[in-house]
Structure 1
Amino acid sequence: MFGIHDFWLFLISGLLLNIAPGPDSAYVVGRGVQMGWRGGVAAALGISTGCLTHVLAAALGLSALLVASVTAFTVVKWLGAAYLCYVGLTMLLSRAPRPDVTAPQETIAVSLARVFWQGALTNMLNPKVAMFFLAFLPQFVDADAPHKPLAFLTLGLIFVFNGMLWCLAIGIAAARAAVRVRSSSGAIAWINRGLGALFIYLGVRIAFSQAK
């Protein structure tokens, strides 16, 4: 279909890549522990949305232009690095809020929206994600396939969907395992610091990445 070959090899290798521990998994687990299953779900959906934009870009050929253009790659790289470092510093300097059962629901909604967009922008502004999809997906598409964009889109959607299911699972599992942790303001503060350090690490890594 659409010139796709070795589909089962793609599916297995994609699943292994999705379940491999990495920054995305750490972010989902951290938010699940910090905010409960809603935080884990918001983080998982945000990360999946960020990956989806790169899949669509790869299908349309925009990712190829990003990788081919040194200027475009550099601009996106520094925007992503600056955003991640900003988020990381904000979390490192933030104070854990005291539990308040009377807090309005609007505050929770805003927090979940922020978690979602942090996860999404982490991937959207990472040119390495674009390079990954351009390097991985073509391995399973025939060179003379008549519908390469559709093949890229199909494979990318499957990869992102499987990754979303995995992130949802670990986010919910982390939330259920951390009920007691969330009742401790000190533990939440350390989780914030850990997530902040993760964001700063990602920002620095992106800043020193190079287009190949």
Structure 2
Amino acid sequence: MLDTSQILTYSAALAVAAAIPGPGMAALVARSVGGGALSGFCLLFGIILGDLTYLSFAVFGLAMVAEHFNGLFQLVRWAAAVYLCYLAWLFWFAEPQAFETDRPVQRKELLSAAVSGLTITLGNPKTIAFYLALLPLVINLESVTPQTWGLMLVPLTALVLLAVGAVYILGAVRIRHLLSSLRAQQRLFRGAAAIMVAAAAAMLIH
């Protein structure tokens, strides 16, 4: 089991890493502005699922497998980078629209938001660096048992990411009226696109 200092250190490090603006949070804000809080939280669910995937990789040593299958790992990196560029293209050319706050959100839109959150996170170099490089410096992964992973790390990770993501979502929803103009929406979407292109470039450089 983790002691109190490890729990606090991990929580603080994860919160800081999550709060730093990146492709995930950029997409979260854009989705929350365009689709409302429910759509934002669905995307956040995908982000959390992606983080838990990399957490599991780190805990169960699957990062070592990636090192032994370097060709496959490089293919995944390129695929993730291409997907980020595709999302950037969608954001860049997205047509700003007037908000309809009372419009019911379709189930397909919510599912799309969750899938986008997952794929963005799996291709996010910041997430990869945190779990596969920084996490071992914070926690002795050799001492982490399946029970510790399931009963402590998984719920702790989900709660921290939920708290940080909720701040972004509620803040975005709160300022929706400031982004009601088409020009403001276009700036937001193109800013998100630029962040995703930068993340894709970072994946291929490192």
Q: Taking structure 1 as the reference length, what is the TM-score of the superposition? A: 0.78
- How far, CA to CA, are the matches of 2:11 and 2:116 in structure 1? 28
Unaligned runs of 5+ in 1: none
- Please, which moves more after superposition, 81-90 or 120-129? 120-129
Distance in 2 between residues matched to 1:163 and 1:129, nearest whole Å = 12
- The one-letter amino acid paired with 2:191 is G
Matched residue pairs, number? Answer: 205
State the structure with more CA Rg: 1
Deviations 1:170-198 (A, max 9, x none): 2112211222423x333323322222222
Q: Distance in 1 between matches of 2:100 and 2:5?
A: 55
Aligned: 1:90 with 2:90: yes
Superposed, which structure 2 residues align to 1:55-66 within 5 Å? Answer: 55-66=55-66
Match of 2:130 in 1: 132
Contact 1:80–1:203 (8 Å) recurs in 2: yes
* Mapped partners of 1:112, 1:144: distance in 2: 38
Please name the residue that 2:109 is paired with. Answer: 111
Q: Is the 1:25–1:167 contact (alpha carbons within 8 Å) kept by the matching residues of 2? A: yes
Q: Once the 2 structures are TM-superposed, how far is the Cα of residue 46 of structure 1 from its aligned partner?
A: 1.9
Moved more, 16-25 or 165-174: 16-25
Question: Hey, what's the Cα distance between the residues in 2 that align with 1:34 and 1:204?
Answer: 26
Task: Report the CA distance shift for 1:205/1:150 in structure 2 as closer, same or farther (over 3 A).
Answer: same
Structural RMSD (CA)? 3.1
Shift of 1:99: 5.4
State the match for 1:173 in structure 2: 171
Residue type of the alignment partner of 1:22: G
Distance 1:109 1:208, change over 3 A: same
* Separation of aligned partners in 2, 1:138 and 1:162: 18
Matches within 5 A, 1:34-73: 34-73=34-73
- The answer on whether the counterparts of 2:23 and 2:192 sit within 8 Å (CA) in structure 1 is no
Alignment partners' CA distance in 1, 2:68 and 2:126: 13
Residue identity in the other structure for 2:127: V
Aligned equivalent of 2:196: 199
**Normalised TM-score (structure 2):** 0.80
State the 1:142 CA deviation: 4.5
